[in-house]
Amino acid sequence: MSESFDIRRWFKNPEELLVISGPCSVETREQLMTTAKGLSEIDKVKVLRGGIWKPRTRPDAFEGIGEEGLRWMKEAKEKYGFLTMTEVAVPDHVNLALKNGIDILWLGARTVANPFSVQELADCLKGCDIPVFVKNPIAPDLKLWLGAFERLGSAGLTCLGGIHRGFSSYDDTRYRNAPVWEIPVELKRLRPDIQIITDVSHICGCRELLQEVAQKALDFGTLGFMIESHCDPEKALTDANQQITPESLKKALNHLVIKKRVVDEDEFVLQNLRKEIDIIDDELLNLLAKRMNVSEKIGEFKKEHKVAVLQMDRWSKVLEDHINKGVNLGLDEESVKDIFEIIHKDSIKKQLY
Nearer residue to Mn ion within complex by CB, 233 or 299? 233
Shortest spacing between CB 166 and ligand PEP, in angstroms: 8
* 157 scored as a contact of Mn ion (CB under 5 A): no
> Which residue type occupies 111?
T
Q: How many CA atoms lie within 13 A of 37 on its CB side?
A: 7
* Position among 1, 24, 85, 200 found at the interface with Mn ion (CB under 5 A): 24
CA dist 281 and 261 (Å) reads: 27
Residues 182-221 touching ligand PEP, rule: CB under 6 A, are 199, 202
Give the other-Cβ count within 10 Å of 312's Cβ: 8
Stretch of 104-112, 139-147, 286-294, 323-331 lying at the interface with ligand PEP (CB under 6 A): 104-112
Stretch of 20-28, 32-40, 218-226, 302-310 lying at the interface with Mn ion (CB under 5 A): 20-28
Shortest spacing between CB 130 and Mn ion, in angstroms: 22
**How many residues sit close enough to Mn ion to count as binding (CB under 5 A)?**
2
* 108 scored as a contact of ligand PEP (CB under 6 A): yes
Stretch of 97-105, 106-114, 246-254, 263-271 lying at the interface with ligand PEP (CB under 6 A): 106-114
CA dist 38 and 190 (Å) reads: 38
124's CB contacts (< 8 A; 6+ apart) are 91, 94, 95
Q: Are residues 231 and 31 in contact, defined by beta-carbon separation less than 8 angstroms?
A: yes
* 89 scored as a contact of Mn ion (CB under 5 A): no
Radius of gyration of the chain (CA): 25
Q: Are residues 197 and 226 in contact, defined by beta-carbon separation less than 8 angstroms?
A: yes
Nearer residue to Mn ion within complex by CB, 66 or 156? 66
Q: Binds 103, which of Mn ion, ligand PEP, none (CB < 5 to 8 A, cut-off by type)? A: none
Shortest spacing between CB 225 and ligand PEP, in angstroms: 12
CA dist 31 and 333 (Å) reads: 65
Q: Binds 109, which of Mn ion, ligand PEP, none (CB < 5 to 8 A, cut-off by type)? A: ligand PEP
Nearer residue to ligand PEP within complex by CB, 100 or 136? 136
Nearer residue to ligand PEP within complex by CB, 110 or 216? 110
- Per-residue binding string, ligand PEP, 43-72, x by CB under 6 A, is --------x---x-----------------
Q: Are residues 88 and 121 in contact, defined by beta-carbon separation less than 8 angstroms?
A: yes
* 32 scored as a contact of ligand PEP (CB under 6 A): no
Nearer residue to ligand PEP within complex by CB, 49 or 347? 49
Q: Are residues 200 and 220 in contact, defined by beta-carbon separation less than 8 angstroms?
A: no
Q: How many CA atoms lie within 13 A of 186 on its CB side?
A: 13
> Closest-CB residue for ligand PEP?
108
Q: What backbone torsions phi and psi does residue 133 show, to the nearest 5 degrees?
A: -100, 140
Q: Binds 108, which of ligand PEP, Mn ion, none (CB < 5 to 8 A, cut-off by type)? A: ligand PEP
Nearer residue to ligand PEP within complex by CB, 55 or 147? 55
Q: Is 52 left (phi over 0), alpha (psi -120 to 50) or beta?
A: alpha
Among residues 87, 78, 90, which one has the least CA distance to residue 4?
78
What's the DSSP call for residue 340?
Answer: H
Residues 131-160 touching ligand PEP, rule: CB under 6 A, are 135
* Position among 27, 87, 103, 239 found at the interface with Mn ion (CB under 5 A): 239
* 180 scored as a contact of ligand PEP (CB under 6 A): no
Among residues 38, 27, 102, 34, which one has the least CA distance to residue 66?
27
Q: How many helices (H) and strands (E) in the chain?
A: 14, 8
Q: Which residues contact ligand PEP (rule: CB under 6 A)?
A: 24, 51, 55, 108-110, 135, 165, 199, 202
